[in-house]
Structure 1
Amino acid sequence: MMNTLFHEKAFAEAWADPRNTRYELPALDVNRVLSERYRLGKPLLFTRTMLWTMETRKARRPDLYIPYVVAEGSADAWDDHQAPDGADIFVRKSQQRLWTMPEKYTLVIEQTRLNHVEQKVTFIGAAEYPDRDGQTLRVTAEQPIFHVVHGVIGEEDRPLNTWFIVHLTDAPDDALLAPFRKQAADPYLPGYIEIFIRNDLGIELVRR
């Protein structure tokens, strides 16, 4: 099934709708946090290129980069094609922890666009989508469908990681925002950057 969704337009429209529940994390200065909060096995200047590489890998394998959110063995990606502007487009699914009940998992379907020019990944949540074999996958109503944008901005030697989420709700729901406020207050790097440094770059790091 060819995915003809205009991902970035769909996200912008959802973000602008006052009924939806949205949150923007502060842009994360990776090297500042590394220098202030970690001891490293060897010196590391984390680059914008590294950060975008991490985002592209995480988009396809969330089970490897956010195992604290995605259930082991539940992730898959299919329906791949390339847009005229060079963006990679595919659909992914995984079992993810509920935002308000993290002890429970639910199916999440995300129509994904990797925009290599602007270095941002747009995930548009879907209520249903055909799997590899043409069988319809459907999410439950346990939590609202949500869209996410992960981005990379800043200079090559001072990259910033950006993160936006919008839940499709009838009215803003403050309870949905609690985990994101907690994440914004965390003085350390997100787990996926720590995992990339350890596993992909082969550099040990210890929180201090």
Structure 2
Amino acid sequence: MRLDHAAIFEQAWDAPGTTSVELPPVAVNDVLRDRYDVRPPFRYTGSQLWDMERRKATAPDKYIPTVVRPGSADTFESVHHGELEDFTRVSDQRLWTDPERYATVIEHVRLDHENRRAFFLGTNSFRAPDGRLLTAGAGQPLFHVEHSVGGNEEAPLNLWRIVHLTDTPDPALVAAFDQLANEQYLRVFLEVHLREDLGRRLVRR
């Protein structure tokens, strides 16, 4: 049965016991203008920002090296149906409240290319095509993520929501995202995309 990723995410987001975090929208071109010297000069379009999200979804260890253990990411069972693309992603990720430790994270991913929304639904286990039963690591609750592109084509916004499947809201998990919420520079995956895919030289001011 095909998952309705958006509905599952919203149900968890609205549930009274879960721990939900919505990071402030990032106007990427404003941050580039105010916080970086970029050569050659560059401004993101919405299409280019979605290209970053698409690439990041399939190679999180490249685009989020501060979170995902290098070489640990793999994807399975990619299926395309119209503007939707589904696959399962497995990687070793740092724990949100204990970043010195890693745990295996299994996510059912949907890329909605038409609406530029990417959903990642955490799950406890997954049967790989070769018959292996993969299981999620311990140490934190399962979580669902939405990454998306907002704004318009000439002034896109980088959007990020995450909901942890807790029984009661957990202030420690919310606090773990405070640094990201207050970041003055672009998030690491944007810097990687700019340097490695778009060939820009970035110097932070």
Q: TM-score, normalised by structure 2?
A: 0.97
Partner of 1:29: 27
Q: Deviations over 1:123-147 (max 9, x none)?
A: 0000111123121111133100000
Q: Which runs of 5+ in 1 are unaligned?
A: none
1:184 Cα deviation (Å)?
0.7
2:129 corresponding residue in structure 1: 132
Letter in structure 2 aligned against 1:17: A
**Counterpart amino acid of 1:170?**
D
Kept in 1, the 8 Å contact 2:49–2:156? The answer is yes
Aligned position for 1:80: 78
Q: Equivalent residue for 2:169?
A: 172
**Equivalent in the alignment of 2:92:** 95
Counterpart-to-counterpart distance in 2, 1:133 and 1:4: 21
1:89–1:72 Cα change, 3 Å: same
In the alignment, does 2:11 pair up with 1:13? yes
Shift of 1:86: 2.2
> One-letter code of the match for 2:164?
H
1:60 maps to which residue? 58
Q: 1:152 and 2:146 equivalent?
A: no
The CA deviation string for residues 129-169 of structure 1, in whole angstroms up to 9 with x for no partner, is 11231211111331000000000011211110110000000
Secondary structure, in 3 states, of the residue corresponding to 2:42?
coil
Deviation of 1:62 after TM superposition, in Å, equals 0.2
Q: Is contact 2:103–2:138 with CA below 8 Å preserved after alignment?
A: no
The unaligned stretches of length 5 or more in structure 2 are none
Q: Percent identity?
A: 47
Moved over 3 A (4+): none
Q: How many residues align?
A: 205
The separation in 2 between residues aligned to 1:180 and 1:98, in whole angstroms, is: 12
Deviation (angstroms), 1:18: 1.0
Shift of 1:104: 0.7
CA distance in 2 between partners of 1:4 and 1:141 (Å)? 27
Aligned pair partner of 2:119 in 97, 102, 122: 122
User: Distance in 2 between the 1:4 and 1:134 partners?
Assistant: 20
Aligned mate of 2:37, from 39, 43, 60: 39
- Residues 83-127 of structure 1: CA distance to partner in whole angstroms, max 9, x if unpaired? 3x4200000000000001101110000000000111010000001
Residue 142, structure 1, aligned to residue 135, structure 2: no
User: What does the per-residue CA deviation read over 1:26-62, in whole Å, with 9 as the maximum and x for residues that have no partner?
Assistant: 1110000000000112210111111000000000000
- Which is further off, 146-155 or 41-50? 41-50
Aligned residue identity for 2:62:
L
8 Å contact from structure 2 (residues 150, 158) kept in 1: yes
SS in structure 2 at match of 1:141: coil
Shift of 1:19: 0.1
